[in-house]
């Protein structure tokens, strides 16, 4: 019975209406070096779709699906493209960076620095954690653990021009806020300084400066 209820819950999530859908002109960057140097392709009719919680739980991946009516371009967007700028917003593909699986994460641009919100790194340590959850709790618990992992997000700083990354931790955030003493002082008092809403709030405040 519990398995049936859980399955019905997942189905409801998956068929929630899609939000954040748009179709417009976009700049397409094949590498971080191209982005750094301003070298891009351009295309009309690019669709940016915010994926639902249910889609992420069922299929993994990051928060935004970017596609085109052109099937060849859509395949390239999914597997090869590094980043897309649409309506002045930058989305970076998690697949080349091995972050969260497929699809794109929204990226804050602060000066010349990039901060990508994306899923967990797809490395052996995280895979081992998922395997342990499966052995300890059976299929149902493993499904819930997998769903939780699919929804986990981190901020990553993406370093140009070569595209290396590091997780944005509190020490790095404090260093970033050094140019804004009032924000730095406020951040130092945060009880959960590495929570995504907290990091996002300070990144947005810093972006206004």
Distances from the Cα of 59 to the Cα of 17, 56, 62, 169, angstroms: 16, 5, 10, 27
How far is the first Cα of the chain from the last one, in angstroms, to the nearest whole number?
Answer: 54
185: which residues sit within 8 A by CB, 6+ positions away? none
Position 121 scores a pLDDT of: 86
Position 95 scores a pLDDT of: 94
122 touches 99 (CB < 8 A): yes
User: Does 137 score more than 60 pLDDT?
Assistant: no
- Give one DSSP letter per residue of 82-131, joined into a string: -EEEETTEEEEEHHHHTBSSSSEEEEEEETTEEEEEE--B-SHHHHHHHH
- Whole-model pTM: value is 0.80
CA angle 69, 74, 79 (to 5 degrees): 175
141 touches 13 (CB < 8 A): no
72 pLDDT band, cuts 50/70/90, is very high
125 pLDDT band, cuts 50/70/90, is low
87 touches 22 (CB < 8 A): yes
52 touches 64 (CB < 8 A): no
Q: Which two tokens stand for residue 131?
A: 């395997």
Q: If you average pLDDT over every residue of the chain, what do you get?
A: 83
141: which residues sit within 8 A by CB, 6+ positions away? 133, 134
Alpha-helical regions (H) of the chain: 2-14, 32-37, 53-59, 71-79, 94-97, 124-151, 170-176, 181-188, 196-208
User: CB burial class (10 A; 0-12, 13-18, 19+) of residue 131?
Assistant: exposed
Question: Stretch 36-64: mean pLDDT, rounded?
Answer: 94
Neighbours of 141 (CB within 10 A): 13
- pLDDT cut 90: percent of the chain above it: 67
User: Does 62 score more than 70 pLDDT?
Assistant: yes
Question: Stretch 13-19: mean pLDDT, rounded?
Answer: 39
């Amino acid at each position: 019975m519990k398995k049936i209820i859980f399955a019905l819950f997942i189905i409801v999530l998956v068929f929630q209406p899609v939000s954040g859908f748009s179709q417009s002109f976009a700049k397409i960057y094949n590498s971080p070096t191209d982005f750094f140097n301003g070298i891009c392709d351009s295309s009309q009719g690019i669709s940016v779709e915010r994926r639902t919680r249910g889609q992420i739980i069922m299929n993994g991946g990051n928060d935004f699906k970017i596609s085109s009516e052109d099937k060849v371009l859509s395949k390239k967007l999914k597997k090869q493209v590094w980043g897309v700028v649409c309506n002045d917003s930058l989305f970076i593909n998690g697949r080349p960076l091995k972050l969260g699986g497929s699809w794109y994460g929204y990226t804050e641009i602060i000066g010349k620095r990039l901060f990508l919100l994306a899923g967990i790194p797809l490395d052996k340590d995280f895979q081992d954690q998922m395997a342990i959850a499966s052995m300890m709790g059976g299929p149902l618990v493993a499904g819930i653990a997998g769903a939780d992992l699919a929804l986990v997000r981190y901020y990553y700083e993406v370093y140009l021009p070569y595209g290396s990354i590091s997780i944005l931790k509190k020490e790095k955030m404090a260093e970033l806020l050094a140019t804004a003493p009032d924000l730095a002082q406020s951040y130092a008092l945060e009880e959960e300084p590495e929570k995504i809403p907290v990091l996002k709030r300070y990144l947005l405040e810093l972006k206004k400066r």
